[in-house]
Amino acid sequence: MVHPLLRGIMSHSILDRLTAELAELPTKLKVAAKYALDNPDRIAFGSMRGVAVECGVSSPTMLRLARHLEFDSYEDFKACFQNEIAGNSFSSRAGALMGSGTGVGSPLIDRLKVAALDNVTSAMTQNAPETFKEMATILRTAETTHLVAAGSMYWIAAHMENTGGIAFRGLRTARPGTATVLETLSLIGPKDAVLIIAVSPYAKVAVNALTYANEAGAQTMAITDRRSSPFATLVNHCLFAPTASPHYYPSVVGIAAVAEALLACAVAGSQGAAIKRIETVEKLRLQSGAYFE
């Protein structure tokens, strides 16, 4: 698992270039590039031969990737990943791991706890504040923002609509059973936006929705799990949150944290309008007697 602080201190220019060029790379280079995007710590500290074995390519392929990125040697490529990593924050991770092995708690619960904390920390450190701000502005100003998610990600979209809807107009979750996603998006235009929430394995319906939204000229955004995600290069703005966990299914805590942070940024930038709307909704709820504390 990638240390949570690695992505925040990695050279974003290399990761961004790998992301941008991923779709056009030859098959073997694409495999190596995806591995580098998702495992920057292994590139930084593993041997070329070891990394090649792990990602299923030959050592010369790893060298070809380095040279494709205009490095004179694989060692130069590796050194770029190592830059500013050595001596940064590994002691805190080691301490967390040591602490998880003590006491009377279950080892599995300890591992789940560490993974959850790592995922949330990574999600909060690897994404640029500017990206949160840009996406928050779109959420706040688009006529309609369609939230598209499937499977285990659907409830996060619904949560965003429920909690974001008390602050802004226009958040709309594509609901299964009422209409197809493309029917929901049929009237979308340049003043609207689409936010895809998807992790591997990726739902085809999300890809179809994004393709349609791009053709309609809408602003497109995504919250996804890795830089090699197919959505990373298909949207105008993208936030990443890892899902690694001892759990049998991808962990959602990082994705949920990013969704909550995005809504918080949208409210913070509303110059008070969202606060007034929230206060109005809370007053109506109190008067209705539908909820109690």
Q: What is the structure's pLDDT at 39? A: 82
Average pLDDT, the chain: 85
Give Cα separations from 154 to 12, 22, 66, 76, 184 (angstroms): 30, 28, 39, 43, 15
Torsion of CA 250, 254, 257, 258, to 10 degrees: -100
List, in order, residues 6 or more apart from 91 with CB less than 8 Å away: none
Under the banding of pLDDT at 50, 70 and 90, the label for residue 242 is very high
Rounded to whole angstroms, how far apart are CA atoms 131 and 239? 7
* Span 108-129, average pLDDT: 91
Highest mean pLDDT among 43-52, 106-115, 229-238, 272-281: 229-238
Q: What is the structure's pLDDT at 270? A: 85
CATH 3.40.50.10490 domain residues, the chain: 127-287
- What are the tens digits of pLDDT across the range 90-115? 334 444 444 444 445 578 898 999 99
Report the candidate in 115, 105, 48 with the shortest Cα–Cα distance to residue 81.
48
- What DSSP element (H or E) covers 196? strand 193-198
Is the backbone peptide bond immediately before 26 cis, with ω within 30 degrees of 0?
Answer: no
Q: What is the structure's pLDDT at 163? A: 92
Q: Is the pLDDT of residue 6 over 70?
A: no
The more confidently predicted of residues 273 and 83 is: 273
pTM for this entry: 0.72
Minimum mean pLDDT range among 161-165, 171-175, 262-266, 269-273: 269-273
Under the banding of pLDDT at 50, 70 and 90, the label for residue 176 is low
Q: Which fold has domain 127-287?
A: Rossmann fold (3.40.50)
DSSP 8-state secondary structure symbol assigned to residue 4: T
Q: What is the structure's pLDDT at 290? A: 80
The more confidently predicted of residues 112 and 15 is: 112
Q: Would you give the distance in Å from CA 139 to the centre of its chain?
A: 17
The alpha carbon dihedral of 272, 278, 280, 286 has a sign of negative
Rounded to whole angstroms, how far apart are CA atoms 176 and 122? 31
The more confidently predicted of residues 248 and 106 is: 248
Q: Is the pLDDT of residue 135 over 90?
A: yes
Q: What is the structure's pLDDT at 105? A: 57
Minimum mean pLDDT range among 65-74, 92-101, 168-177: 92-101
- What are the tens digits of pLDDT across the range 79-91? 887 774 443 343 3
Q: What is the structure's pLDDT at 94? A: 41
List, in order, residues 6 or more apart from 207 with CB less than 8 Å away: 230, 231, 234
Rounded to whole angstroms, how far apart are CA atoms 68 and 54? 20
Cβ neighbours of 191 (radius 10 Å): 13
List, in order, residues 6 or more apart from 18 with CB less than 8 Å away: 33, 36, 37, 69, 227
Q: Which fold has domain 6-82?
A: Arc Repressor Mutant, subunit A (1.10.10)
Rounded to whole angstroms, how far apart are CA atoms 197 and 199? 7
Q: What is the structure's pLDDT at 291? A: 76
Q: What is the structure's pLDDT at 179? A: 65
Q: What is the structure's pLDDT at 27? A: 94
Q: What is the structure's pLDDT at 241? A: 95
Q: What is the structure's pLDDT at 14? A: 77
| Residue % of the chain over a pLDDT of 70 | 87
Cβ-in-10-Å burial (0-12, 13-18, 19+) of 276 comes to exposed
